[in-house]
Amino acid sequence: MLLAAGKSTRFNSKENKLLSKLSNKTILEHNIEQIKKIGFKKISLVINDKNILKNIDTSRLEIIKGGKTRSLSVKNALNNSNIKAKYVFIHDAARILNSDTLLLRLIKEANKKIYDCIIPYSKCNDTVVQNYKNINREDLKLIKTPQVFLKKKITLLHNKNNSLEFTDDSKLMRENPKEFKIKYMLDNGLNLKITHKEDLEVLKTNFARTTRVGLGYDIHRIQKIDKFNLISLGSIKIKSKIKVISHSDGDVILHAITDSILGALSLRDIGTYFPNNKINKNRNSLDFLDYALTKLKNQNFKISNIDLMIISEVPKINPYYKSIINSLVKILNINKNQITIKATTNEKSGLIGKSEFIACWSNISIY
């Protein structure tokens, strides 16, 4: 349930704050796309202004009229939704979801089927004062959304409730902690709610991404043999009557990807860190890639996409395409839509065309 029926009165602008843009998308678009990306197929969008739907892809959305207050909007949605579900995630659209992490953790907790209510929160790091006296900040929780509820129970509580003042649905259960099973889940991610224009400026600063690209290339001599031999491509073993001549295991795909990551990070090439010595003789190329991925993680970068081009006469890549993709997706911890593999021959031209070499180019984008 995505709550987008507010009037943005504290935002001090003629425009609805949910139409404010970050990276050429509105706050509302960012939230809807993130929720769909995670895999939610049932989304109730609660609105009062139909103009907010401009440029919005309304597929998989159930549009519900909001109320005069937040609590009435939630009540309307719970009572008028045609969606059947055991649990409901209630989220303020003004609080932008910019990562998968929080949603996936909430889904994991909900799937345990233990709790009536799951509340994400962050700790208070500032000194808090009330009437000149300090409040123990260790006792404070800064509550966020989305919050997860057993739908039947939260609907019943909303229908019984006559107060219009509260701004947090979990309050209905927190008032009776002995009656309901409540899970507080610590979340340290950026989950800023846009209330004032200053909040938007802070979010824009944090939302800005540094993007870098890297190019990797590897080539190995191959030799035709009489018996079948196992060669490594993308960390899968392929049965072939060729042998890859290499100091390590000769995986041109992993070597090219490793070099492209190192290049994107402004580091040296693979040979600098793994020279042709006794230690690296017949070494698994996963060790090289793991080294580059550790550097990537340490610099707080993630992979945006990888474009691979394999050039060889033999072996033919197409029969192993899916296996290589699945292997790389697992190794790199990315989705299938973040990687492309293309393969071509050299049209019998040059040493690759004469089946004497196999090569691979890797072009990577990181952020």
- Distance between CA atoms of 160 and 152, rounded to whole angstroms? 13
Question: CA 97 from chain center: how many Å?
Answer: 10
pLDDT at 322 over 80: yes
Region of poorest pLDDT, from 44-58, 188-202, 312-326: 188-202
Mean local confidence (pLDDT), 238-245: 90
At 15, the pLDDT band (50, 70, 90 cuts) reads confident
pLDDT at 208 over 70: no
Mean local confidence (pLDDT), 282-304: 94
Residue 346: what pLDDT? Answer: 84
- What does the mean pLDDT of the chain come to? 90
Residue 132: what pLDDT? Answer: 92
Region of poorest pLDDT, from 15-19, 149-153, 251-255, 362-366: 15-19
Question: CA 3 from chain center: how many Å?
Answer: 22
> Can you read off the two tokens belonging to residue 230?
């196992």
At 206, the pLDDT band (50, 70, 90 cuts) reads low
Residue 207: what pLDDT? Answer: 66
At 120, the pLDDT band (50, 70, 90 cuts) reads very high
pLDDT at 234 over 90: yes
Which of 22-26, 209-213, 250-254 is most confident? 250-254
pLDDT at 310 over 70: yes
At 350, the pLDDT band (50, 70, 90 cuts) reads confident
Residues 336, 325: contact at Cβ < 8 Å?
yes
Question: CA 103 from chain center: how many Å?
Answer: 10
Mean local confidence (pLDDT), 270-291: 94
Question: CA 277 from chain center: how many Å?
Answer: 39
- Distance between CA atoms of 117 and 110, rounded to whole angstroms? 9
- Distance between CA atoms of 287 and 285, rounded to whole angstroms? 5
Mean local confidence (pLDDT), 189-216: 78
User: pTM of the prediction?
Assistant: 0.60
At 306, the pLDDT band (50, 70, 90 cuts) reads very high
Kindly provide the residue ranges of all beta strands, DSSP E only, lying in 294-349, ordered along the sequence.
303-311, 339-344
What percentage of the chain has pLDDT greater than the value 70?
Answer: 98
Terminal C-alpha separation, the chain? 30
Task: Please name each of the domains of the chain with its CATH number.
Answer: 2-207 (3.90.550.10), 212-366 (3.30.1330.50)
CA quadruple 142, 148, 153, 158: dihedral positive or negative?
positive
